[in-house]
Chains A and B, each alone.
Chain A
């Protein structure tokens, strides 16, 4: 991938991001942040390649990067799910009786 192609992809994706995000209502901004935060854990892909390389320095940095990015990804999606569970259902009476 050349630099120019990378920049093209970046700019177009940023526009998609702006379009999609501006449609999210303020009520959902916290889940949006934690959810998009989890997506930024995509850097895990890079971390995996580094950690699997075999030399000592890459191994140390790679292991740390995999661990950190996994916290970001797993924790981010889970906590977002926890929040959205509270938002989505039409519960009120039924759920309160249950708890």
Chain B
């Protein structure tokens, strides 16, 4: 195949990626968009296999078989609650591949020019740090590593020194063409990925998964510079931009800067709430009280939070809302951007449980409707419905966009205990006259409510 032909076919592949991403703007066209992306990828692979320069296909076939089988099994078997860790793992594999390609290129051809040295350094550092960082994120999401920030004293100094050493080994590699410098660079970048991800708290995972996604794209793009491939540069830039957009959206939804998420070691995990917060009497609701309140409402908005995802209560939620809808109650779901464990995760969980897409509304779409709503049912959410974020300038989460559930006629909060959320901040919502508290696991509470609603 001629160079011109292959270049044009790579362009066709990149165009299919862009058109495919464009089709993701609606749930009706999204699936075909994903298929377009896959076709683009197939074109890029076939073109590469047909290009001259490949002398041995054995290892390629072996890699296809091993990787294809593993990828298929993982993608087919994963539960929807496990999507965030799976995406993190895939991300890590992509980053590692980019880093290894750049490393192999350097080992074979050396760094003849300053630009190859720079791009090899970038590619290895980004790719390998993405690899180890993603697997730490995987471990945290999977519960293999504690979700709370893990830090040691002087870590900022250590990490800064590590980052400087990564750059230093890159310079050494560029100046000397020394192979040892490359291995040092890889080792340091791997360590940096680990030490930079461990301090990030469980609640910040949506941001860090998006950020690592962006890094894997940038790693692919810089590998594109190393091997002189426009296809890699274009695709890597697309993914890098996509990850950054999502990172920015997530940070904004938490009213924090990316730097704050990356460096502040914010929040704990749900198992270890700080003690001694809370005050004032709350109104406890029995299942029957809450069921009556829901069953006789004209309109109900369900606010699902992290607690719903953790207890896998999406099916129970649909069951309850179906029964309410059958009684003529208008039911909708209000989804806060950081409700799940990665951007948009709650929507996937509810879609899995067959909740109609039209019932799922995001913050901007639904927030004005709370004053006209009879009951807001908050399931396992806390900080995203904390009115002090809106009303109390002294609150640490002041300015974070929240769902205005306190403006609904009544609020039912399903929560395991009065413990504060990730932010460790008390929630005045719980002590209001119009709020009923149900202390229970999300799934058990929703099942009980569904049963009770039936008999009202």
Contact = CB atoms under 8 A, between A and B. Distances in A.
Interface in B63-91: 63-64, 66-68, 70-72, 74-76, 78, 80, 83, 86-87, 90-91
B344 A29 contact: yes
Given A30-B347, A45-B45, A70-B68, A35 B24 contact: yes
B72 A65 contact: no
Interface residues of B, number: 114
B104 A42 contact: no
A30 B230 CA distance: 27
Nearest to A23: B25
A25 B362 contact: yes
A79 B345 CA distance: 13
A19 to B, nearest CB: 9
B353 to A, nearest CB: 9
Contacts of A86: 348, 351-352, 354
A24 B97 contact: no
B238 A67 contact: no
B362 A21 contact: no
Interface string B235-262: 1111111110110010000000000000
B423 interface: no
Contacts of B97: 41, 43-44, 47, 64-66, 68-69, 72
A85 B31 contact: yes
Contacts of B344: 26-33
Nearest to B80: A83
B218 to A, nearest CB: 9
Contact of B59 (A46, A59, A79, A87): A59
Nearest to B217: A40
Nearest to B39: A77
Interface in B222-281: 223-243, 245-246, 249
A4 to B, nearest CB: 10
Nearest to B341: A30
A40 B243 CA distance: 11
Contacts of B90: 34, 37-38, 41, 71-72, 75-76, 79
A53 B55 contact: yes
A2 B150 CA distance: 44
A61 B63 CA distance: 11
A74 B72 contact: yes
B49 interface: yes
Interface string B351-379: 11010110010100000000000000000
A13 to B, nearest CB: 4
Contact of B213 (A37, A53, A80): A37
Interface in B28-80: 28, 30-31, 33-35, 37-38, 40-41, 44-45, 48-49, 51, 53-57, 59-60, 62-64, 66-68, 70-72, 74-76, 78, 80
A88 B28 contact: yes
A78 B71 contact: yes
B232 to A, nearest CB: 6
Given A13-B238, A86-B352, A37 B55 contact: no
A77 B238 CA distance: 16
Nearest to B344: A29
Contacts of A75: 70-72, 74-75, 86, 90
A14 B67 contact: no
Contact of A6 (B108, B225, B360): B225
A46 B54 contact: no
Contacts of B295: none
A92 B356 contact: yes
Nearest to A25: B25
B20 interface: yes
Given A14-B240, A45-B44, A45-B48, A6 B233 contact: yes
B108 A55 contact: yes
Contacts of B100: 47, 50, 61-62, 64-65, 68
A75 B344 CA distance: 19
Contacts of A29: 246, 249, 342-344, 347
Contacts of B101: 43, 46-47, 50, 61-62, 65
A50 B362 CA distance: 45
Contacts of A10: 221, 224, 233-234, 236-237
Interface of A: 1, 3, 6, 9-11, 13-18, 20-55, 57-59, 61-88, 91-92, 95-96
Given A35-B21, A63-B59, 13 more contacts: A1-B228, A13-B234, A36-B213, A42-B220, A45-B48, A48-B45, A50-B108, A57-B108, A58-B107, A62-B100, A65-B100, A69-B94, A76-B71
Closest 6 CB pairs of A and B: A70-B67, A17-B241, A66-B63, A29-B344, A52-B54, A75-B71
